[in-house]
Chain A
Amino acid sequence: MSPILDGQPGTRHLLMGNEAIARGALEAGVDVVAGYPGTPSSEIIETLARVSAQQNLYVEWSVNEKVAMEVAAAGSFAGLRSMCVMKQNGVNVGSDFLLHLAITGTRGGMVLVPCDDPGALSSANEGESRHFARMLEIPLLEPADFQEAKDLIKWAFELSEKIQNVVMVRSVTRLSHASGNVVFGDLPDLEKKAFFKHQGNILDPLQGPMSSLPVVFKHGRQQEKLKKVIAEFEVSAFNTYSGPRAPELLLITGSACYLYSKEAISLLGVEDRVGLLKLATTWPLPPQLMEKYLCTADKVLVVEEVIPFLEENVKIIAAELALKIGSKTFYGKREGSLPQTGEMNSDHVAAALSKILSVASEAVPEAYAARAKELSDAGAPGRDLTFCAGCPHRASFWTIHNTLQMDGREGFVCGDIGCYSLAILPTGFNTLKTLHAMGSGIGLASGFGMLAQFGMAQPVVAVVGDSTFFHAALPALINAIHHRSDITIVVLDNSGTAMTGFQSHPGLAVDATGNEASAIDVVNLCQAMGATVRVSDPFEPEKTRQTLLDLFEIKGLKVLVLKQMCALSPEKKAQKMFEVSVDQAVCIGQACGCNQLCTRIFKCPGLNWDKEHLVSRIDEVICVGCGMCASICPAGAIRKKEVA
């Protein structure tokens, strides 16, 4: 039973930020939803996919974010309400289309929801989508809590229809993946019919063809829309102020930073000295509202995450209003009170406030802190990121690494984004030597593979996950085949978008809502393009190594598909392939010439080194029974027995 759909209007529910966003979309009567999985955004589409049948929604995991935006825009052009969801990197991918769309405009309400990851808690960068709102000249809304996450989405649809353009609602990890209380509103009951009107004049925004032409005219019309937006923002009840009439310091913030700021003010007990202006409408800023509050204090602190986006925009307004509001002393990122990298928290804000206002912050007793530090140094050994027990990637990189070592020509592996990014760390035997955007491993390999004329003779390997293969690898792969780049591509096919929670992708016969879909076969596709293709199971290291060595001998583009389902896959979970055990009579531990190969090098979390008896053991709680360690033990001490 899902409260998302069944929860009655007026009732209160504990929702994840992403669920609140999904509920907001339902209350707005969304019809079409598209996106690509990416932490911390994925649960929005998952939540809506689950209720799609009951609500007559169209929900899809698109092949990538650009296509997701196009699919969502089609819904809008046909008069429906549509939403497009992705993590911050996705906006980069979709931005080519988005720049056209922002000038073209929309019809049915269209909302773009990027979820940024300040601090890169589960990302390979901490880039921000906020800058796109300014660059594309579209309105930007930022929810400060869970209730707003729902309510702003609903308002964004109304705003989008009012100005006939796409509206961005930006979330962050600490809202998307946090949970809080949300009071539900009504769900609409509307019958809608999709129809794309295109018979009108090219200048007619409601009846004509959808295009950015003539560009300068339509760009001007887009900027007129922003004036309407500012008028709405000036009076929006989502912008709030709390604090004294004439505070010593005006703190301007939005997003999750509002909660941190509120808490920091409370921690220091400076409620009567600091005014807290929370903005939900962060671009374009409403100048009259800003004037009203900037007038009240001489000192201004802007609290936000990563780059000073809000701070700079506030400063532009303050410069324009200088004659009316007087000069201000600004605190924040440019001045140095707050860091420009990593995520924000109450402690950072409290430290800034304590410095600006010269108040001491009450800390833990010094003696306690010192003792805790001393004890935890011994008591809390660090936990490096690792592939899960039984992860096929560990097996794949074990073999790729060893094969390249054996080859002896200093070959290397280019990678990209996925769980397999961890292969740049010891858990993947430091096998990856480049790590960039999705698909970039193949693009880089394509380039490396053309450098023979400059004497380069190192074997070049690129790895790519199955979902990433469809998302971003195909153009690079085609480029490499077309130019006869001499490289080996390894597709790490674990049957799903595993890192973000097993979302479907075009290689699977199922779609986001669980309906049957047409699966595109990686092997056939690569063969049709002219690549030499082999398939192996990473849990068969001997066969895989021989296949790789054979492929290295062939000129041109080779593809090796390593097929093995993710250890955490819902289809595989809790099903052991093998009962694995260490034969204590055979494992002679440190007396063996292997030098603890299984625990020291392979180091699957399912293995343990028994300090007392100096032998390896299997941790039966952690081991998932893949049997890989049995294949690598040189003494044959690790035994695997097939589970019936």
Chain B
Amino acid sequence: MLHRDDWTALLLTFELAAVTTLCLLLVGLPLAWKLARSRGVRKVVVEVLVATPLVLPPTVLGFYLLLAFSPLHPPGSWLHDALGVSLAFSFEGLVVASCIYSLPFVVQPLQNAFEQLGRELPEAAATLGHGPLAVFFRMVLPNCRAGLVTATCLGFAHTVGEFGLVLMIGGNISGETRVASVALYDHAESLDLSRAHGLALTLLVLSVAFLAVVYGLRHRGRRQDGPA
């Protein structure tokens, strides 16, 4: 049903989303934990920076990232000279850009969950002899499952839905940077409506199925947490 190139685009999209979500969790968990436990001006500054992609047009972010990735001047030239890597128009570049773009969607639900958990339970765990890492993994994360699920799903879904940013810094290289949303745009532009329909419908069905699973998971999580 789907054209081979569209399958490639879809797989690339999910690969990008999966890698991005993984990176975001690695960065977002400690960042959200730190934000949830700090106060003052520094916290506000970091919160503003994290939230900026929410309000910024993706093309603006893409424009600045394109400049930054350019191997002709710093910082892109440093990376190019040191590692021989160029981020512009590459999959790695898309991952870096997606991470920045989707950061608030991961950090904010986690931060909310951590703030709601409060200090009392982590303190209690510390008095039982659990160090900070043990407290985090044995006590904090299991009690913030709902926030973790939300953060993971939002990060993933938001990356799948990216368009303007990818177009700005990734271009449209098949198998490398052409993700599903860009491919769909191409088909519509070239009036190849049957392929556009195929891709659009696939994305629609997958999105609804994805949400169904997420809501199902959250519902079950709530039931396990007790009669609310």
Physical interaction between A and B: no
Task: Show the binding face of B for A, using Cβ within 8 Å.
Answer: none
